[in-house]
Amino acid sequence: MIFIAGASGFVGGHLVAHLREKGFAVKALARSAAAAQRLTAAGCTAITGDITEPETLRGILNPEDMVIHLVGIILEQGGSTFQRVHVEGTRNLVSEAKRAGVSHFFYQSALGADLKGITPYLRTKAEAEEILKASGLSYTIFRPSLIIGPWDGFTKKMLEMIKISPLTPIPGDGTSRFQPLYIKDWLKCIMRVIETPDAYPGVYELGGPQQLSYSEIVQLMTESSGRARIKVNIPMGLMKIAASLASILPSPPVTLDQLLMLEQDNITGIDTIEKKFGFTPMALKQALSEFIKK
């Protein structure tokens, strides 16, 4: 059976729908009753639990299970810190997977994950990778760049802003490059892992077919929504002050960490997917046209 942690999120939701459509049996971890209800309605066996609470994971896995670990946060809130969720949470899930002797363990890390990375997000993603690598389990790790598709947090925020404001702020000069990957192409990659896990051992960096600057991505999103907007570059120093002030809000629009990540390229080889998975992923403009309504 496929066990998914993080099934209620953007990537997890798409994976659940795809697996159920293909007839796979899915067990999904849910933190809330509402998520459990949604996952049950989607045809999964929902299990209530939280990866930061090891006692809730006890006995939920079987030897024939494959674990798909998609849990991640981009914002620390209350006790939900990068260390607690990415590092301790992964340690808990890996240790339960070892106890059960699962067949394969997949972990979704992030492009740029590095023990010496510039942000705690990237450092803790790398620490989580190390825990899995040292576990002795059969594993696959993906390190994707920005994943876009229906309901993804970044595109949703951008489209909301484009809809209401004639100006689109660009933090800094907007020249850092990203390699957006369409969720449908991520699904193609993960299905290869699910169907032939032994063919995908180790770590895979994933990116779309174009290296685009932040400013170019915003421009393509604006065009795809059928609107004309003026981009305004906001000096990074000013953005950082605003982010520091906003950090007291329960859900700040942008964090210092996110701004730091916007100052760096987040790219990999242009043909990584073609080389490792044998197909060409979709260009951003075409991908956006599949799910953004003008």
Ligand X SMILES: NC(=O)c1ccc[n+]([C@@H]2O[C@H](COP(=O)([O-])OP(=O)(O)OC[C@H]3O[C@@H](n4cnc5c(N)ncnc54)[C@H](OP(=O)(O)O)[C@@H]3O)[C@@H](O)[C@H]2O)c1
**Residues of the shown chain interacting with ligand X in the complex, contacts defined by CB under 6 A:** 5-6, 8-12, 29, 31-32, 35, 50-52, 70-73, 85, 89, 108, 110, 144, 146-147, 152
- Considering the complex, state which of residue 86 and residue 192 has its C-beta at the smaller distance from ligand X: 86
Quick check: helix, strand or coil at residue 115? coil
Q: Which is nearer to ligand X, 168 or 258 (CB)?
A: 258
Give the tokens for residue 159. Answer: 């489209």
- CA-to-CA distance for 144 and 242, rounded, in angstroms? 28
Distance of alpha carbon 118 from alpha carbon 263, whole angstroms: 10
CB of 132 to ligand X, least distance (A): 13
Query: Closest separation between CB of residue 238 and ligand X, Å?
Result: 26
In order of 99, 103, 134, 174, 291, the CA distances from 196 in angstroms are 23, 12, 22, 39, 29
Tell me whether residue 47 or residue 239 sits nearer to ligand X (CB atom). 47
Distance CA 242, CA 235 (A): 11
Min. distance of Cβ 123 from ligand X in angstroms?
A: 13
| Smallest separation, CB 185 to ligand X (Å) | 13
Q: How buried is residue 196: exposed, middle or buried, by Cβ count under 10 Å (0-12/13-18/19+)? A: exposed
Least separation in angstroms between CB 130 and ligand X: 16
Q: Which is nearer to ligand X, 2 or 71 (CB)?
A: 71
**Smaller CB distance to ligand X: residue 233 or 264?**
264
Q: Which is nearer to ligand X, 11 or 61 (CB)?
A: 11
DSSP 127-166: HHHHHHHTT-S-EEEEEES-EESTT-HHHHHHHHHHHH-S
CB of 96 to ligand X, least distance (A): 13
